[in-house]
Amino acid sequence: MQPAFRKVVIFGAGLIGGSFSLALRKAGAVGEVVGFGRSSATLEEARQLGILDRIGGDVAQEVCDADIVLLATPVAQMAEIFIRIAPHLGAHTLVTDGGSTKSDVVAAARAHLGNKIGQFIPAHPIAGAEKSGAAAALAGLYQGKKVVLTPLTENSKDAVARIRKAWQSCGAVVSELTPQQHDEVFAAVSHLPHLLSFALVHDLAQRDNREQLLSFAASGFRDFTRIAASSPEMWRDISLANRAALLKEVKRYADELYVVYQALENNDAAKLEEIFSEARKVRSAWTQQ
């Protein structure tokens, strides 16, 4: 039986791109996977791990007849990739991405894909991990996880359906938002938590007694700062790419933190309990969904 996608080309065969390949393979949904990247050593590792069938040499030759091209690099690198692939995209080749921000990626695609913009269907898989690289890729990474598509007005229904099918073949639950809605939502529930986690660890790291502090840190600290083990390069790019929405969220959090500060300063037990109780109620309801 012919696989749904005969050929997939991946730029960035790390956690996101590698897991996409492994999941499609497991589902029997892909015939061949070709990879491009900045490091030949990383690409060779991905080939040896069974993520790639081949390491790509000529972009024009590989993307012209691909069914899907996935951009799974840090978002700051995507504009350059759009420039490389734009002249060579086949008429039936669809492009998608795994970036954590959408408005900036869409702007880059519009700037560089020209009249082929309808072939780009932006996506964001909500399934990360602290570890990165090809060795971190998992066939089950997307199983039961959300993937958000942010279709463009230029996309045909068939094109969106094809990309939806690819992510669903990976086991993902697919939903849709506009690029702006996406960036506002994820500034609050993803980008801000990462910023706070990095900031707390950075604060402790600068203290003279940091070794003593960390020696007593337990599960609460571990849970809160787990995501500070994520890729600094990737989160630098995400933070700057979603700067406007993230600035608003940092300001809102600072205001909330000041409310807590005032409650402590005023020895206001009732206010602290009100804040903690409401937070606990919302958190408990969310985990039961």
Confidence of residue 39 (pLDDT cuts 50, 70, 90): confident
Contact 73, 108 (CB under 8 A): no
pTM: 0.87
Helix axes 232-241, 192-205, angle to 10 degrees: 130
pLDDT tens-digit map of 180-231? 999 999 999 999 999 999 999 999 999 999 999 999 999 999 999 999 988 8
The label of the residue with tokens 């020696």 reads 215
Q: What is the mean pLDDT of residues 18-32?
A: 97
Residue 50: is its pLDDT beyond 90?
Answer: yes
CA 179 from chain centre, in angstroms, equals 14
Contact 264, 230 (CB under 8 A): no
Say what the pLDDT of residue 129 is: 65
Percent of residues, the chain, with pLDDT higher than 70 = 99
- Please name the residue ranges forming H helices in 127-231: 157-169, 179-186, 192-205, 210-216, 219-225
Q: Using alpha carbons, select from 107, 103, 228 the residue that is nearest to residue 177.
A: 103
CA distance 149 to 91: 21
pLDDT tens-digit map of 61-98? 999 999 999 999 989 899 999 999 999 999 999 999 99
